[in-house]
Amino acid sequence: MLKDLRTCEDKPLLTSPSLIPESRARPFPNLCNLKSLSGETVDVPDYFVRKNRSRDTQAQCTLVAISFRDYGYQLLSSWIDPFREALQDKDRVEVIRLNISEGFFNKWILKGPVQGLMKKNTPVEEHDRTLLYFGSDLALFKDALRMHNVMTGFVFLVDGVGRVRFAGSGKASEDEAARLVRMASELTPLIQSVPVNSKQPRKIGPNRTRQ
C-alpha cells in the first residue's frame, strides 16, 4: 500500500473534476453502530441527513472525511480546514470525521485507548461530529467508495438525501480545496449566509421576505 501511494502521490482515488450528476450519484453505503465522541450510537448515511426532514436535495451537504490510519487522518486537514474557513457561516453545511479501526485487536484491545486519545485531542464542539467504528467485514463498504488503500485519507461530499456527489483522497492541493468549496456551494444554492444578529431580511420565497 505504501508503494502504491508513492506511485500515485497519495491519491489512489482521483479528485472529481465536477459534481457527480444526480443520475449517476450513488447513495453513501450503510455502516451501522458507529460511536460519536459524545457517546451517541449512530448509523450512516442516516446521521448525515438527520437535520433534513424535508428530504430536500439542496437543503444541506456534508463533507465526510474518512481515515483508517494516523497518516491518512493528518492528510484530511488539507481538505477540512479550507472548507470550514470558506463555509463556516453557512447553515447546514457540516463536516463529519469518520475514523475506522479494523480487526479483532483494534476492536477488543485498543478500542478504549483509541477512544480516550481521540476524545482528548478533539475539541469538545466536534465530539458529536467525530465518529468511530471498530469492526471488520468492511469489504463491501470500501468497495462502494473505492477505498482500497487504507493508508491514506478520503473525502466525500454527500448531498441532502445521502448521495455521494464529489470524492477525493490524499492531500488536497489549493485547486482541489477550492473545487471542493465550489461544489458544496453548488449543492446548496438556496442556503443564505447571514451573519449572526444580522437584521438583513431573510428570504422565505421567490418574492417575499421576512424581517
CATH number at residue 86: 3.40.30.10
**Overall domain count for the chain:** 1
The answer to whether residue 205 sits within a structural domain is: no
The answer to whether residue 192 sits within a structural domain is: no
Mean pLDDT of the chain: 84
The answer to whether residue 210 sits within a structural domain is: no
CA pair distance 171, 63, nearest whole angstrom: 15
The answer to whether residue 207 sits within a structural domain is: no
Question: What cell was used for 166?
Answer: 464529489
Look up the domain containing 36 and give its range: 2-187
The answer to whether residue 182 sits within a structural domain is: yes
Selection from 166, 172, 188 nearest residue 18 by Cα: 166
* pLDDT value of residue 29: 97
pTM for the whole structure: 0.83
The answer to whether residue 100 sits within a structural domain is: yes
Mean pLDDT within 32-56 = 92
Query: With 50 as the cut, is the pLDDT of residue 148 above it?
Result: yes
Query: With 80 as the cut, is the pLDDT of residue 178 above it?
Result: yes
The answer to whether residue 193 sits within a structural domain is: no
CA pair distance 28, 47, nearest whole angstrom: 11
